[in-house]
């Protein structure tokens, strides 16, 4: 059981597994544990389970079941998209992509397109970055730090006009809990999601590869996933992901309606603290994202005080080291380093309550004041 005294405001980092997802997957760990590539009855049962999951996820993502490629998460889906096209020409992405896109693009000497201070891609700069030699453009649907939603339709128009050979990839990892990805990602040829952001397990994701898209596989071997991603599938995790996706889609509108006013109250309450700046335009953020910067405060010290008060939050995106490097997203928005150094992401989820918001609003102004007095 989670500790009731904890206020968890880090849903963009990860979410608790949904009990229904855990219940759905358990039989595939100890009863129907066959290898889905095998020929006997237990193998067929496992294969049927992932095929059923494919149908559910295809419905949630607006694609055909055969276009679903199971991966080990969002990072693998993103890497597969970028590296899978890098041999065909230049790869291009926005400056606020998750590192799972940005690092492969940099690794392949690709181009990085700036964003406006509102947190939205600069479409003129995108047009300038494109030409006939571009093989992939990757623009995320919603940002993981500041939550801003990108105009994918307009991006697709620019790509079609300026780089007709390019495929469009969108990282919808942070969008899926909040937005109708099936329709919003329709212009994209490749779409990434990650199960642990919506009540599934860590280590499970999907890359949608639309029929006809030419993508070099990154992982070769047994030829699973129609040769697009070899390796024995994580059957139980896939079953859990499908269950979580189905519930997420069914409850999405209700969750967004409940979370938006809580997020707004939280953000407005924090903006009442002098020297606080909200990052990105809230009108185009996903419902769960509250992101602010406190001038003259060190994020790390603030997170320490919040943790002491039982509040789990984050400064920028979660990375393996936990190190608080200056955020590339805030830098791309034009935030000076001094302000970006005081960033705080509070990310709400379906289970966030009014009492959680009250607690954060009780604790934060005092914590910020204390750190400023100490000259952190
Ligand atoms: N893309 C975005 C936008 C993310 O927020 C994350 C996770 O933080 C990832 C990709 C990576 O997903 P995973 O943790 O499943 O590798």
**Domain tally, the chain:** 2
Nearest CA to ligand 1 atom 9: 74
Is 1 part of a structural domain of the chain?
no
Helix (H) or strand (E) holding 138: strand 134-138
Based on the fold, state whether residues 42 and 171 are members of the same structural domain: yes
Based on the fold, state whether residues 279 and 362 are members of the same structural domain: yes
At 152, list the tokens. 């994918």
* Model pTM score: 0.97
Is 339 in contact with 293 (CB distance < 8 Å)? yes
Domain containing residue 339: 7-15+252-375
Model confidence at 319, pLDDT cuts 50, 70, 90, reads very low
Q: Average pLDDT, stretch 22-27?
A: 98
Which residue has 């209700």 as its token pair?
A: 254
Nearest CA to ligand 1 atom 14: 74
Residues with CB under 6 A from ligand 1: 73-75, 78, 98, 100, 140, 144, 171, 173-174, 194, 205, 317-318
In this predicted model, which residue has the larger pLDDT, 323 or 37? 37
pLDDT at 316 (0 to 100): 72
In CATH, what number is assigned to the domain containing residue 229?
A: 3.40.640.10
Q: Rounded to an integer, what distance in angstroms lies between the CA atom of residue 87 and that of residue 194?
A: 25
319 is catalytic: yes
Which 3-state string (H, E, C) describes 89-131? CEEEEECCCCHHHHHHHHHCCCEEECECCCCCECHHHHHHHCC
Look at residues 227, 247, 267 and tell me which one is the last residue of a structural domain. Answer: 247
Look at residues 247, 280, 295 and tell me which one is the last residue of a structural domain. Answer: 247
Helix (H) or strand (E) holding 25: helix 19-25
Based on the fold, state whether residues 263 and 363 are members of the same structural domain: yes
Which residues face 149 on adjacent strands?
142
CB atoms within 10 A of CB 283: 8
Q: Average pLDDT, stretch 30-55?
A: 97
Based on the fold, state whether residues 200 and 276 are members of the same structural domain: no
What is the tens place of the pLDDT at every residue in 296-310? 999 999 999 999 999
Q: Rounded to an integer, what distance in angstroms lies between the CA atom of residue 357 and that of residue 39?
A: 53
**Ligand 1: centre distance to CA 74 (Å):** 5
What is the tens place of the pLDDT at every residue in 70-105? 999 999 999 999 999 999 999 999 999 999 999 999
pLDDT at 4 (0 to 100): 79
Is 347 part of a structural domain of the chain?
yes
pLDDT at 324 (0 to 100): 55
Model confidence at 191, pLDDT cuts 50, 70, 90, reads very high
Closest CA to 92 of 165, 192, 201: 165
Look at residues 200, 217, 247 and tell me which one is the last residue of a structural domain. Answer: 247
Window from 58-62, 210-214, 334-338, 366-370 with minimum mean pLDDT: 334-338
Model confidence at 318, pLDDT cuts 50, 70, 90, reads very low
pLDDT at 2 (0 to 100): 66
Based on the fold, state whether residues 271 and 242 are members of the same structural domain: no
């Amino acid at each position: 059981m989670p500790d009731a005294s904890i206020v968890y405001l880090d849903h963009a980092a990860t979410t608790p597994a949904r009990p229904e997802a855990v219940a759905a997957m358990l039989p595939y760990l100890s009863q129907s544990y066959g290898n889905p590539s095998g020929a006997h009855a237990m193998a067929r049962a496992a294969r049927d389970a992932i095929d059923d999951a494919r149908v559910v996820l295809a419905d949630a993502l607006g694609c055909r079941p055969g276009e679903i490629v199971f991966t080990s998460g969002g990072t693998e889906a993103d890497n597969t998209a970028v590296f899978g096209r890098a041999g065909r020409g230049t790869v291009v992405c926005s400056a606020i992509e998750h590192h799972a896109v940005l690092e492969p693009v940099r690794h392949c000497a690709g181009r990085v397109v700036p964003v406006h201070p509102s947190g939205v891609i600069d479409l003129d700069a995108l047009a300038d970055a494109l030409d006939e030699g571009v093989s992939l453009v990757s623009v995320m649907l919603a940002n993981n730090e500041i939550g801003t939603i990108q105009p994918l339709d307009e991006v697709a128009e620019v790509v079609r006009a300026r780089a007709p050979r390019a495929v469009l990839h969108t990282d919808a990892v942070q969008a899926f809990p909040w937005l109708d990805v099936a329709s919003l990602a329709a212009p994209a040829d490749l779409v990434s999601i990650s199960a642990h952001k919506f009540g599934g397990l860590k280590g499970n994701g999907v890359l949608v590869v639309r029929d006809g898209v030419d993508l070099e596989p990154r992982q070769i071997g047994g030829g699973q996933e129609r040769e697009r991603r070899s390796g024995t599938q994580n059957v139980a995790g896939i079953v859990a992901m499908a269950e979580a996706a189905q519930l997420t889609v069914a409850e999405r509108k209700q969750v967004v309606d409940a979370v938006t006013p809580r997020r707004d109250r939280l953000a407005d309450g924090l903006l009442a603290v002098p020297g606080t700046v909200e990052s990105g335009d809230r009108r185009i953020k996903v419902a769960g994202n509250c992101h602010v910067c406190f001038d003259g405060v060190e994020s790390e010290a603030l997170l320490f005080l919040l943790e002491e008060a039982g509040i789990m939050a984050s400064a920028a995106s979660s990375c393996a080291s936990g190190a608080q490097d200056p955020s590339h997203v805030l830098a791309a928005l034009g935030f000076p380093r001094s302000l970006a150094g005081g960033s705080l992401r509070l990310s709400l989820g379906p289970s966030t309550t009014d009492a959680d918001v009250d607690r954060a609003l009780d604790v934060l102004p005092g914590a910020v004041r204390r750190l400023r007095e100490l000259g952190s």
